[in-house]
Amino acid sequence: QVQLVESGGGLVQPGGSLRLSCAASGFPLVNYAIRWFRQAPGKERGGVSCITGRDGSTYYADSVKGRFTISRDNSKNTVYLQMNSLKPEDTAVYYCAAKQGLYGSDCFGRPSGYAYWGQGTQVTVSS
């Protein structure tokens, strides 16, 4: 049974850091792209970062480049999103989503293209 569980969200001051985790079960990470999305109230869900299945290539939205780092631990079947230098505009519910595939093309597209989603974890950046 495919399942994704996010954790690690919370309240942090601007400039602070959080590490989000996405624990996957029911499938191996090496066969799926794992992509982080976020959604703030009144805004569309948008991609934040992604890591490919085959070789762990990474991708980032321009708004988070240089601040966020996506990684994975295949032995734990877990993907991480290290978020540094957080800004108030990073406030959102963060979701991880999985799409079966091996390559970078699986790290792009509409949210509806991802079959599996976690429940989301709230990140609030505020002073």
Q: What is the pLDDT of residues 23-57, one digit of tens each?
A: 999 988 889 999 999 999 999 999 999 999 989 99
Q: Which of the residue ranges 7-16, 61-70, 103-112 would you say has the lowest mean pLDDT?
A: 103-112
Cβ proximity of 25 and 1 under 8 Å: yes
Average pLDDT taken over every residue of the chain: 96
3-state secondary structure the chain: CCEEEEECCEEECCCCCEEEEEEEECCCHHHEEEEEEEECCCCCCEEEEEECCCCCCEEECCCCCCCEEEEEECCCCEEEEEECCCCHHHCEEEEEEEEECCCHHHHCCCHHHCCEECCCEEEEECC
Check whether 1 has a pLDDT greater than 90: no
Check whether 84 has a pLDDT greater than 90: yes
- The residue type found at 66 is G
pLDDT of residue 103: 87
